[in-house]
A and B are shown apart, each in its own frame.
Chain A
Amino acid sequence: MSRRAAALLAILGVLLAALPAFAGNYLLSVATLILYLAFAGQAWNVMMGFAGQLSLGHSLYVGVAAYVAGGLFFHLGIGPWAGLWLAMLVCVAMGAAIGFLAFRFGISGVYFALLTIAFAEFTRIGFDHLGWTGGPGGMFLKVAQRDQIDLLHFRGPPAMYYYAMLVLAAGALALCAWLLRSRAGYYWQAIRENEEAAQALGINTFRWKMAAVMISSAMTSVAGVFFAFYYNNLFPEQIFQISRSIEIILGPIIGGVGTLFGPVLGAALLTLLGDGITELLAAFGWEIPGIKQVFYGVVLLAVIMFLPNGIWPTLAKKLKL
């Protein structure tokens, strides 16, 4: 990393760490959302940007993890730190199953994307009929006192959630940076660029694609557990729906698929601008449902047409990072 980039990153780190000191609860919640999307986007990026497999059903892992951890807490009082492991296990198993089915049967590209959508939708409808998790009526976790920090049950003031997400997002960034430079990173990029050539160089593409899918689903499951204990209510209709999957991938696509900072940049830009628009309109007394999504759609369209590699690569060049 160049010195300019390292300096910028350090400044950003300090600012982010100090944010709760001067930001109100609303701003903190926006910042937490940005970090959440950055984290989830980074997790998705591992599969797409690194291994080239387009998943449009990532809401599956968020939802299942949220329900597993949430369900354990709701029914058995098991805290999130323990629930996290089971949630991750289940999600990795699901990711492995989907990956196995897809790769063994040679499903790729658009068909793979459709397969991931089908699994997410199938699960959504399934959970709608699952009594143990409350069915379509949803599951509500007990919200305890907000001012005390109860780390064991992951309850506390907004600042606690913010810092938790900050650590997760920073951790994901570090993990991806390490992966990208490792043997795995090279192999994944080779598979993404040309799978046949990669095989001819001794790469067991099936195994590496599976690894990408499993790492991606494991990371995404953590986001799901966070979701459960942050929002405290889960509805199948909401958490599994395809717009949630799209929400996760908007950041990386706009910021730059396959890059390290793309997902973070994309998540920040979209959330800030989107919220900004809503606030602006509210200031004029207009409350228009759907305007934020239209905005997202337009930005996505513009980026795909004019900056197909995302905003980050161009920005990095301009800023000489």
Chain B
Amino acid sequence: MHWDLVANVVISGVLTGLIYGLMALGLSVIFGVVRVVNFAHGEMMTIAMYAAVVLFAELGLDPFLAIVPVAAAFFALGYAMQKALINPFITRPEHSQFMLLVAVAIILVNGLLLAFGPDARNVQTGYQLESFAFGPLLFDKARVYAAGAALAAAAALFAFFRFSLTGKAIRACADNYLGAKVVGLNVKHLYALTFGLGAACVAVAGCAMSVLLEVTPQLGPAYTLLAFVIVIVGGLGSMGGALLGGVLIGVSEAMAGLFITPSAKSMFSFGLLILVLLFRPQGLLGRKT
């Protein structure tokens, strides 16, 4: 096995993993703050991918440019969904919320099937066929751009939570719901804001992913599970953990694809999920509640 083949596979895995990480970041933020198990997360990602595909097909808009309108739309929709659908469920038992989002996921995935049919769709841009070369190492241009977009979005989110007043308010809600209410924070609004932000992350990740893969409605459930694996492995409530988890899963999937059969790669992720749930439920970087 040539080391440069392995190296290229690892690089590819890292880059893809960053996009997975961004998607998982959205889930971590939602799960970590609003404590909602967004079972429709992967479906949202798939819709974003379709949005990029449609915008490209109809308007010739490059997916990376499409990020702006798609993310804005997703933010608004996410905000609305939390306010209208989920907020009334805050006091209900956990599995009630869970099933609510399962219902949403079913509607979304089959809605996509109705709208677009089961066949795969994709985007075709010039730079998809080009790569950056550093000696024997090859970096696919499309993958680099996508990972770059993911990193930029993640950095923006970090900065928001660290430095802005609203970001701190949201972190307060995550730490202590009742306490946040008592000091006068409009928790329901902040929750909706958070869901909107999580949705926007997914939008960016989806647009970025659309240049790397073909999209079918069935990607939805697969991505939902992937997002959960990453969030749990990386650690709930840790943004760095989501990115780290994403990269880890990206690399392990790429390696599994190389050394075992490609179709078995998700088996590794699920095995990892089981192990983490059993032995280190707070994940790699998460806090123990």
Interface residues in chain A, defined as those with a beta carbon under 8 Å from any beta carbon in chain B: 54, 101, 105, 107, 109-111, 113-115, 117-119, 121-122, 125-126, 128-129, 242-243, 246, 253, 288-291, 293-294, 296-298, 300-301, 304-305, 308
Contacts and interface: CB of A to CB of B under 8 A. Distances in A.
Contacts, number: 108
B179 interface: no
A289 B113 contact: yes
B185 interface: no
A115 B113 contact: no
A297 B225 contact: no
A105 B107 contact: no
Interface in B96-118: 96, 98-100, 102-107, 109-111, 113-114, 117-118
A122 B264 contact: no
B76 interface: no
Among A114, A129, A296, A305, the one with the most B-chain Cβ atoms within 10 Å of its Cβ is A114
A54 B232 CA distance: 18
Contact of A246 (B100, B104, B106, B113): B106
Interface of chain B, main secondary structure: helix
Interface of chain A, main secondary structure: helix
B274 A118 contact: yes
A301 B100 contact: yes
Given A289-B118, A294-B106, 7 more contacts: A105-B277, A113-B95, A122-B270, A253-B99, A300-B102, A305-B88, A305-B100
Contacts of A107: 277-278, 281
A114 B114 contact: no
17 contacts: A105-B278, A105-B279, A107-B278, A109-B95, A110-B95, A115-B273, A125-B270, A129-B261, A242-B225, A290-B110, A290-B111, A294-B106, A294-B111, A297-B107, A297-B110, A305-B85, A305-B100
B130 interface: no
Contacts of B118: 289
B110 A110 contact: no
A188 to B, nearest CB: 16
Contact of B110 (A109, A119, A294): A294
